[in-house]
Structure 1
């Protein structure tokens, strides 16, 4: 079966109560005895160290992760397809590599050989992958043990993970709310401490949005920095990486996934902060005219103050962007992907009732594209020129700080793919007002979970740079993580 990842078609057993304290990223030399049971509160770097030293086995880690998965799945519904037997067989073979023996999940937009690939769609509910996609293939080389496929909205086209093929995925901090999308299942599982990290991809915010909703670190790598499949469309939006509990997991994965091209050089494994102080542009207002909710505004102002307290220069800015034009042109490119997906499904299943195979949101996008495709060529020209415009912002500063999303995670159903199309479009574009410019420009961008509401919900802070600034952002992330740690916070379902 042809891999239907967004890049290809967007041409434009322990119980939760028994979990151990986190093995801190600040203390990687911590010794754990061989008799200590594997913990769901450890990061992946530490797990890999313990496997390499012989203190625990990959099979122990995998069995414990599967036990945690079985406990939380009825609550959060974040696993599209469990592949426990395959995972136990792989773990028993003691896979080697940088993350040898560490359990994780692959997002259901990519293929893992022998596992189902729904791509979040009813049209592919019986599909089994014949081979790995490009990025999962690198994870196999790294020795990662995949215990399942994480849920995603239909072909990753919306910011809430409520696909009809598997049902809504719930946020572990408040199960009445969404975990974001499109890497919503990955974020919900990682936040629930099932695995220390999970594969995620980002074509319009799909790493950073769920990271913000679920209190995780989410780096969107620069375009061309990491392993990727060939792309021949007009604007390459999507990149693969992970959502993680710790900065060091993201950095170590990044280094292991690197395959720089198109003028980029290797970043290597960033292991700590940089002494250089940065000039940070603080731009809290949504460029498309949406409004911040009060708790998000309070949180992002606290982040700006924290950066100042660390010695960085913070200067408030209004982004020089025509937010309405950017949004309209980006959405036209986005809708072209939906149109291609619908056409592909119709070709594969001629005569079938398309409304029983493809969700209303996806069909609405496809219809929207059909009504506006005479504008497509001009939209692509604008988006191709946007990278230079975006880069020019950084002539006056080093890093851009904004909220990741404009509100706290909304309720399940608020962005459901079955809702009125125009109303859902307004709700989605208001929510995801900040993330798409970095996809169009190919820039590095990260959501950092350093703020929380009084009621205990995470609020993401989005830091962005130019393409190639991944190392700069990771160094800053280490500093923020040390200044305002988040790892000890556990979601409500783990209480």
Structure 2
């Protein structure tokens, strides 16, 4: 096992984002020093992690001398390379076209950067975010800093690897099937997928028949995630949802917590089941009412979600030239994207009913959460796989079987629109982080953050330097 990190005695130290804000405001460090340190750290680990898609260091250094306002003013970050940032291309982890620099920030980036965060560039992802491992056929895989032989997990892998390695304290991620929570689990981070429509999102997301994608952040501490959501809410507020507010400490209410060790059509590995039950026991010791129950997902969910996921791939492939311009080359797409397109094409007559059933899952979840405040599951069904396990150049059938076996829990909240957070509460026998996921009903991020604060105090997790 080979670990890498960039933590050191520089302006970033071991600060999380909130700690760094305090250090800047108190004059312990300057913003230019912080940005230079983050750039140096990124370059130190970049050859090992393969996490950076585009660098914008000169722009960041200029902004460091004239930072925009916001709570996070001067805090370095990265943006995942599937949202538009003015002046940077949006390549989406894909070799099938050549992207031009975006003329404007997208809706999410505009909100994200309005909090004061300073982007150093964009991070690598799997092709169009379809795979749970960012393994690029030409550029190579994004690797976990906890073990360079392991995947950094899901399409937000680049952002997660850089936060876990200490290059930046916070980075953008988004989640259409688990890609905030999966890399949080793999890299020992906090990753909260917000409620559907909680944060501003780009136009294409709003056009989806089922809006499964949510944007958020990856951090090393609960308070960083809570502070980001608080500040984002000051910039953009969805009035149909209850406000999150400023969640800085554990809640006092003891919760009704359901535990699932079986996911959507799959079971966890025995070691993961045991780790999940240990966390359930901790919750009981903290005074919560804990009950192991079956997962509420109907039997139709795995195939319905896969069909809808493949529909998104089919739309991407068939509209490629119109969307991405004359450089589009279908023959440069990887086997997973093309296999998903075939999967949908052969089952297209089943899609309307699948979409209808997926849209009704919010009602199923609401009924479940009328009985249970929170559900606990492992974030992933087994330990982080080795690089190559989800190789996108392998036969489609092999890739898909392995994906479904590993990602057995996270898609449920993408379908229902509910919030869920992965916390680094467990470690496998081989020393790898194994995240535990907590989900609540729509609009209940505050409940999850209060519980996360409580668990962070009761069972503090180690960063990669620990």
TM-score interval, smaller chain? over 0.9
The structure 2 residue matched to 1:321, chosen from 292, 297, 303, is 297
The structure 1 residue matched to 2:250, chosen from 264, 273, 284, is 273
- Within 2, Cα distance between the matches of 1:164 and 1:222? 33
Q: Does 1:391 align with 2:373?
A: no
8 Å CA contact 1:107–1:183 kept in 2: the answer is: yes
Q: Aligned in 2, Cα 1:351/1:99: closer, same or farther, shift over 3 Å?
A: closer
8 Å CA contact 2:419–2:445 kept in 1: the answer is: yes
1:466 aligns with 441
8 Å CA contact 1:224–1:262 kept in 2: the answer is: no
- After TM superposition, give the deviation of residue 322 of structure 1 in Å: 2.5
The superposition leaves residues 268-314 of structure 1 with CA deviations (integer Å, 9 ceiling, x where unpaired) of 121110011111101111231x2322331221111111111111111
- Within 2, Cα distance between the matches of 1:165 and 1:445? 33
Q: How does 1:279-298 map to 2 (within 5 A)?
A: 279-288=256-265, 290-298=266-274
1:19 aligns with 8
2:61 aligns with 88
1:238 aligns with 213
- After TM superposition, give the deviation of residue 453 of structure 1 in Å: 1.9
- After TM superposition, give the deviation of residue 18 of structure 1 in Å: 6.5
1:50 aligns with 23
Q: Aligned in 2, Cα 1:376/1:189: closer, same or farther, shift over 3 Å?
A: same
1:427 aligns with 402
- After TM superposition, give the deviation of residue 66 of structure 1 in Å: 0.6
- Within 1, Cα distance between the matches of 2:264 and 2:54? 38
Paired residue secondary structure (1:81): strand
Of 262-271 and 310-319, deviating more is 262-271
- Within 2, Cα distance between the matches of 1:477 and 1:297? 20
1:484 aligns with 459
Give the RMSD, CA atoms, in angstroms. Answer: 1.8
Q: Aligned in 2, Cα 1:350/1:66: closer, same or farther, shift over 3 Å?
A: closer
The superposition leaves residues 66-119 of structure 1 with CA deviations (integer Å, 9 ceiling, x where unpaired) of 111011011111111111111111112233211000001000111211123211
1:307 aligns with 283
- After TM superposition, give the deviation of residue 360 of structure 1 in Å: 1.5
Corresponding residue pairs, total: 458
**Structure 2: stretches of 5+ with no match in the other structure:** none
1:105 aligns with 78
Q: How does 1:325-474 map to 2 (within 5 A)?
A: 325-347=300-322, 348=324, 353-356=329-332, 358-474=333-449
- Within 2, Cα distance between the matches of 1:100 and 1:84? 16
- After TM superposition, give the deviation of residue 480 of structure 1 in Å: 0.4
The structure 2 residue matched to 1:250, chosen from 209, 225, 243, is 225
8 Å CA contact 2:251–2:451 kept in 1: the answer is: yes
Paired residue secondary structure (2:196): coil
The structure 1 residue matched to 2:128, chosen from 135, 155, 179, is 155
**Structure 1: stretches of 5+ with no match in the other structure:** 1-14, 21-36
Q: Aligned in 2, Cα 1:393/1:415: closer, same or farther, shift over 3 Å?
A: same
The superposition leaves residues 331-355 of structure 1 with CA deviations (integer Å, 9 ceiling, x where unpaired) of 1111111111112224455696521
Paired residue secondary structure (2:390): coil
- After TM superposition, give the deviation of residue 413 of structure 1 in Å: 1.0
Paired residue secondary structure (1:175): strand
Of 119-128 and 327-336, deviating more is 119-128
Q: Aligned in 2, Cα 1:125/1:456: closer, same or farther, shift over 3 Å?
A: farther
Structure 2 length normalisation: TM-score?
0.94
